[in-house]
Structure 1
Amino acid sequence: MPTERFTFPGHDGQDLDARLDRPDGPHLATALFAHCFTCSKDIAAARRIAARLAALGIAVLRFDFTGLGHSAGEFENTTFTTNVADLKAACAALAARDMAPALLIGHSLGGAAVLKAAPDLSGIKGVVTIAAPFDPAHVTTQFDDSLPDILREGVAEVSLGGRPFRISKAFLDDIAQGELAPAIRDLGAALLVLHAPGDASVSIDNASQIFLAAKHPKSFVTLDDADHLLTAADDAEYAAAVIAAWAGKYIALHRPAPPVGAPEGVLRVSESDPDGFLQDVQSGPHHILADEPEAYGGTNQGLTPYGLLSAGLGACTSMTIRMYARRKGWPLTHVSVDVVHDKVHGQDASSKTEAKIDSFKRTIHLEGALDDAQRQRLREIADRCPVHQTLERTSHIETKLA
């Protein structure tokens, strides 16, 4: 899963830091992940969910809200409303790259943010909340003891997760007005609610309220004994698997259809992923993929070009041997051919040139009650394979533009 660093202007124009997790193969859809209050894009649950979705062809953008993680700005100047605005800015940045999101995922307060933003965004097919509060003001329970200081001084430092944060009265005033029921009712997209019954930070009653406020299609899945942050790898992986399976119902994740069939007698190769090397290979009704290994910039979803060449030699060898044994009525029960391709110096291959040439080494496995003479004859027949003969001769290749 390649990950690209991504920066975009937030609600006030300051740069927000993000990571775009791309699929190894074709990009089929995009999701936007909003993290929990005071967390960051790098929380383990976000990474695991992004990896699972990327494997399905869904690119995932994870970003730090203003003043958090590696994003610019001051956290004390942010509110729930600015978080929603940052989320919309992220959607706009993706749309500018022709990657407008179809799926919104929000964890905790990030879940409240995606619920609030979704009705104002076009093209959203699904919304997922993980341990989200029905009332955004629920977040203030994390610093109850500091509320008098914030109201009196206008801003105060509070400890959240062992880290200091400055919370302003403006934040409190804003989040008190963050009613979600109207937005949930007018979501305009399928909803998946994920919540653990024993969540000690945001009770499961919040999930019930979100679910009841939403119109169909809507789904609820319990996260059993997971904690609020999904810190256990198994819990995060389970949530990721559920989201991935659910998303496939509401987002078209079908890989692009193979190119239109080539004319009779023509094998057509068309690139499937312009950002990589994946190729669609079609001949009549037959369709396969060609690719390069990950180490060479590919996604390893198909044979390499030389792998296909070796496959042609091996297949032709096996077919030629089988055809001869069948005609002779010999007891050949199974044949397989191992092919290894390499570049060797011509002088090492009994050639007159010292330049490097292609070497194909075949190991033929013959099974059945064959005597030595039959086995040796089949070994000789292998050299009559048409592909073998083509490779040993000099071929002519003519190229023209269509």
Structure 2
Amino acid sequence: MTENFTFPARDGQMLSASLERPAGRIRATALFAHCFTCSKDSLAARYVSRALAEAGLATLRFDFTGLGSSEGAFADSHFAGNIADLKAACDALSERLAPPSLLVGHSLGGAAVIAVAKNLPSVTAVATIGAPFAVDHVLSHFPDGTAKARRGEAAEIEIGGRTLVIDADFVAQMQGHDQADRLADLNRALLVLHAPRDQIVGIDNASQIFAAAKHPKSFVSLNDANHLLTRKSDAHYAAAVIAAWAEPYLPAVAPLPGDLAEGHVRVTGTDETFLQHIEASGHLFVSDEPKSVGGGNAGPTPYDLLLAGLGSCTSMTIRMVATRENIPLENVSVTLSHDRRHCDDCFTGIEGAKGDKKGRLDVIERHIVLTGELDDAQRARLLRVANLCPVHRTLENTPVIKTDLADPA
């Protein structure tokens, strides 16, 4: 769920922002800083922010001054300006929801979140994606324009098919930043994500960032991802790693008014056809359909979840009984599948089986693998236990489903 708005920057210009809200409980809030000359609507910014929201992290992405839909001139979007814009974004997020606990920066945005983190007391974790170690690394991509700007002339530079203007102040503001000192004094958990074959910002930058920082710090390779993180799968992987890594460093979750009671599940639709956000027992995840039927394959299908519920309950019940009865079970593996078959093919040997009006029957096949030094009697005992698991019994008992229309919360 995306909320678009604007907020004032340091000099009064309005910055364009998009807040990605989780469908269910908000675990924490995060602030995303986009790459140099990109925007909040770049593929990486959108993919990562939305994937973080699916993990329960409300994430604000915004356009730096002079970029995207934000007001101002690009020449004013130098590094010091980026830092000031991040502080203004933090204020905006604090007013709208809560101060950010997590900062995520892509490319030069990564250098910016390192620089600003110590000035934001609420921040407990910082993640960089393809970030340069030195801020002035960006100047190496347009040496002629940099030289011209240093002579006091306005210089046009070409980046990503766009013509932008820089001046001497822009170049000067990109220099003289001691990122090593900032990293040594970060006092926040740091995650460095970088692609080994990044052709824009080499992997040596990740090594320098990691070496300069103090623990807790972590490094994750983005394998063959490109610098701009344009593949959705790479962005989702990065976001999943960030969300899982950040969890221990985020503030404790306080109970929120209206939280679901134990045993209740909430499913909320999205603006995509099949994608659903699921909230259960304080956990957030998604369900989707395969791409072959028009879905995005962002999560398990409804039938996958049904089978997973039966399989996990089966495994839990077997393990519980084996432990209680001192059966030397080492592990349980349950593989399940669902099919709809014609009743004539299914009724034999299935007591009480009933098909639908078209003569079809839902059949779930469950294959259980038990490992351990088990004798035949113990294996038979655990097989009987499998058929007594609570979810199995619920499915066989043909539960009554009562449905009504409720008022919006």
TM-score bracket, normalised by the shorter chain, equals 0.5 to 0.7
Pairwise mapping of residues 191-340 of structure 1 onto structure 2 (< 5 A)?
A: 191-252=190-251, 271-272=258-259, 280-281=260-261, 287-289=263-265, 301=279
**Cα distance between partner residues in 2 of 1:143 and 1:290:** 51
- TM-score, structure 1 length as denominator? 0.66
1:143-181 per-position Cα deviation (integer Å, ceiling 9, x unaligned): 012222212233211111121000111011111112211
Match of 2:331 in 1: none
Q: Which residue identity does 1:56 align to in structure 2?
A: A
**Are 1:160 and 2:164 matched, yes or no?**
no
C-alpha displacement of 1:292: 6.8
Query: Per the alignment, do residues 217 and 92 of structure 1 end up closer, same or farther by CA in structure 2, a change over 3 Å counting?
Result: same
**Cα distance between partner residues in 1 of 2:241 and 2:51:** 10
Query: Per the alignment, do residues 292 and 104 of structure 1 end up closer, same or farther by CA in structure 2, a change over 3 Å counting?
Result: closer
Match of 2:141 in 1: 142
Counterpart contact for 2:105–2:112, Cα < 8 Å: yes
1:3-56 per-position Cα deviation (integer Å, ceiling 9, x unaligned): 000211112111000100000001121110000100001111111111221112
Query: Per the alignment, do residues 98 and 222 of structure 1 end up closer, same or farther by CA in structure 2, a change over 3 Å counting?
Result: same
Pairwise mapping of residues 305-384 of structure 1 onto structure 2 (< 5 A)?
A: none
Match of 1:29 in 2: 28
Secondary structure at 1:54's aligned position in 2? helix
Match of 1:126 in 2: 125
Q: Which residue identity does 2:167 align to in structure 1?
A: S
**Cα distance between partner residues in 1 of 2:200 and 2:270:** 42
Q: Which residue identity does 2:80 align to in structure 1?
A: T
Query: Per the alignment, do residues 335 and 140 of structure 1 end up closer, same or farther by CA in structure 2, a change over 3 Å counting?
Result: same
Counterpart contact for 1:191–1:218, Cα < 8 Å: yes
**Are 1:102 and 2:101 matched, yes or no?**
yes
Counterpart contact for 1:36–1:110, Cα < 8 Å: yes
Counterpart contact for 2:265–2:278, Cα < 8 Å: no
**Cα distance between partner residues in 1 of 2:27 and 2:97:** 12
C-alpha displacement of 1:203: 1.0
C-alpha displacement of 1:110: 0.3
Secondary structure at 1:38's aligned position in 2? coil
**Cα distance between partner residues in 2 of 1:294 and 1:204:** 37
**Cα distance between partner residues in 1 of 2:62 and 2:240:** 21
1:188-217 per-position Cα deviation (integer Å, ceiling 9, x unaligned): 210000111111111111111110111100
Match of 1:319 in 2: none
RMSD of aligned Cα (Å): 2.9
Match of 2:75 in 1: 76
Q: Which residue identity does 2:50 align to in structure 1?
A: A
Secondary structure at 1:193's aligned position in 2? strand
Match of 1:54 in 2: 53
Structure 1's unaligned 5+ residue stretches are 260-269, 273-279, 303-331, 339-364, 366-387, 392-402
Query: Per the alignment, do residues 241 and 152 of structure 1 end up closer, same or farther by CA in structure 2, a change over 3 Å counting?
Result: same
Match of 2:306 in 1: none
Query: Per the alignment, do residues 290 and 114 of structure 1 end up closer, same or farther by CA in structure 2, a change over 3 Å counting?
Result: closer
Counterpart contact for 1:30–1:103, Cα < 8 Å: yes
**Cα distance between partner residues in 2 of 1:336 and 1:253:** 49
Match of 2:171 in 1: 172
- TM-score, structure 2 length as denominator? 0.65
**Cα distance between partner residues in 1 of 2:353 and 2:251:** 42
Query: Per the alignment, do residues 25 and 179 of structure 1 end up closer, same or farther by CA in structure 2, a change over 3 Å counting?
Result: same
Match of 1:385 in 2: none
C-alpha displacement of 1:236: 1.9
Match of 2:19 in 1: 20
**Cα distance between partner residues in 1 of 2:278 and 2:214:** 42
Q: Which has the larger radius of gyration?
A: 1
1:373-399 per-position Cα deviation (integer Å, ceiling 9, x unaligned): xxxxxxxxxxxxxxx9xx9xxxxxxxx
Counterpart contact for 2:86–2:116, Cα < 8 Å: yes
Counterpart contact for 2:54–2:277, Cα < 8 Å: no
1:315-340 per-position Cα deviation (integer Å, ceiling 9, x unaligned): xxxxxxxxxxxxxxxxx9568999xx
**Cα distance between partner residues in 2 of 1:243 and 1:291:** 24
Query: Per the alignment, do residues 294 and 300 of structure 1 end up closer, same or farther by CA in structure 2, a change over 3 Å counting?
Result: farther
Query: Per the alignment, do residues 292 and 96 of structure 1 end up closer, same or farther by CA in structure 2, a change over 3 Å counting?
Result: closer
**Cα distance between partner residues in 2 of 1:162 and 1:67:** 16
C-alpha displacement of 1:291: 6.4
C-alpha displacement of 1:294: 6.1
Moved more, 101-110 or 144-153: 144-153
Secondary structure at 1:153's aligned position in 2? coil
User: How many pairs were matched up?
Assistant: 289
**Cα distance between partner residues in 1 of 2:231 and 2:19:** 23
Secondary structure at 1:271's aligned position in 2? coil
Counterpart contact for 2:25–2:279, Cα < 8 Å: no
Match of 2:43 in 1: 44
Query: Per the alignment, do residues 172 and 236 of structure 1 end up closer, same or farther by CA in structure 2, a change over 3 Å counting?
Result: same
Query: Per the alignment, do residues 212 and 293 of structure 1 end up closer, same or farther by CA in structure 2, a change over 3 Å counting?
Result: closer
Match of 1:370 in 2: none
Query: Per the alignment, do residues 149 and 57 of structure 1 end up closer, same or farther by CA in structure 2, a change over 3 Å counting?
Result: same
Match of 1:3 in 2: 2
